[in-house]
Amino acid sequence: MKCKDNPVSEDLALMRLIKMGLMLDGGEVDINSMEIFARMYFGLFIWETECAEISREYCENVCSRFCDLSRKEEYGQMYLLLAVQYDRMRKPLPEAVWWLFNSEKAVSSFMCCFTECFRQHLQK
């Protein structure tokens, strides 16, 4: 298969998520894989915040915003909030996370898992 020039094609994005093991052939999220994926990218996110010397207080505020948006099921806003945090650190959103954008199911699952990782981290 030759990839087309349109990187945001829904079909191409779904195919990529399936090849990444995050989605099943029927278009449903592979929950176990998504939990691992979210935990891995959360770990990288926290590492970046520490390297950028982002305060714990700021992280607690961001986590609270993620939790509020999660309760309202505003997963697209959560994804945007994550992108803003990377911008704040002058880092690009990781490419593999960017590829979730075209799938509402993938974004909602990822953001729920990511937020739970954030909550667990801050309880330590």
pLDDT in tens, 16-40: 999 999 999 988 999 999 999 999 9
What is the number of other CB atoms lying within 10 angstroms of the CB of residue 90?
Answer: 8
Give the pLDDT band (50/70/90) at residue 83: very high
- The tokens for 31 are 């929950």
> What's the pLDDT tens digit per position in 85-124?
999 999 999 999 998 988 999 999 999 999 999 989 888 7
CA distance 73 to 77: 9
Helices (H), the chain: 10-19, 31-51, 56-71, 75-88, 95-98, 104-122
Does 5 have pLDDT greater than 90? no
Please answer whether residues 28 and 108 qualify as being in contact, where contact means their C-beta atoms are separated by less than 8 angstroms. no
